[in-house]
Amino acid sequence: MTTSARAAVLETQDGPFEFRDIEIEDPRPDEVLVRVVATGICATDAHVRAQRMATPLPVVLGHEGAGVVERVGAAVTTVEPGDHVVLSYHSCGRCKAMIDAGRLTLGQSLQGIIQGDAVSSLLINDLAQLYRAGRFPIDRLLSFYDFSDINTAFEDAGSGRATKAILRFTAPG
């Protein structure tokens, strides 16, 4: 069984994203199918679009996001259909974080983070707590775009008009 989806496909280096209907295979045993409701545009996406990170084209980009679990593979035990999840760059979730977000709650500052330098399931919760406490005003860094405006979002992120561009998807149906 497959799932139909609408995707923004990059066909050429630095080219525009073109919308295509695609089919997604059922999750493998260790995979999860998530209905994405929002996704952040990451520097990695920009590097792939410009082919500074050589990637075969055509490609569907994106690894940051938020959504709802639709289906899980047979070996998945940490989430189930209906769970609300946050997606991040690949992380096993078991390694010791190189950046301990808990330090922020003690008043120390965060100088930077590199992909994979944090355990997402810990860092995201810590950052959410800091936001709720008024100590991390992430909302002032975000610019929201409809999915159909993906090309504008990439332009704004690349020019600095948007610090963090977030694409929002409309509900199906």
- 121 and 78 in a single domain? The answer is no
pLDDT value at residue 163: 92
Quote the CA–CA distance of 64 and 5 in Å, as a whole number: 17
The answer to whether residues 26 and 106 belong to one domain is no
Does residue 55 sit in the same domain as residue 9? yes
pLDDT at 101: 44
Find where tokens 């992430």 sit.
Answer: 138
Q: Quick one: 145 and 77 in the same domain? A: yes
62 and 19 share one domain: yes
Phi, psi (5° rounding) for residue 162?
A: -125, 130
Question: Do 24 and 43 share a structural domain?
Answer: yes
Task: Report angle CA 136, 141, 144 to the nearest 5 degrees.
Answer: 130
Is residue 48 in a domain?
yes
pLDDT recorded at residue 143 = 96
Which residues in the chain show pLDDT less than 70? 89-118, 172-173
Q: Report how far apart, in Å, the C-alpha atoms of 161 and of each of 15, 110, 157 are.
A: 20, 23, 6
Do 20 and 72 lie in one domain? The reply is: yes
Q: How many structural domains are present in the chain? A: 2
**What is the pLDDT, as a whole number, of residue 35?**
93
User: Same domain for 67 and 119?
Assistant: no
Burial of 107 (0-12, 13-18, 19+ CB in 10 A): exposed
Instruction: Mark whether 81 and 114 lie in a shared domain.
Output: no
Q: Could you tell me if residue 159 is inside a domain?
A: yes
Q: Which pLDDT value is given to residue 83?
A: 94
Q: What is the span of the domain harbouring residue 142?
A: 2-87+138-168
- Same domain for 123 and 97, yes or no, is yes
In a domain, 173, yes or no: no
Are 78 and 6 part of one and the same domain?
Answer: yes
| pLDDT of 124 | 79
Query: Do 21 and 46 reside in the same domain of the chain?
Result: yes
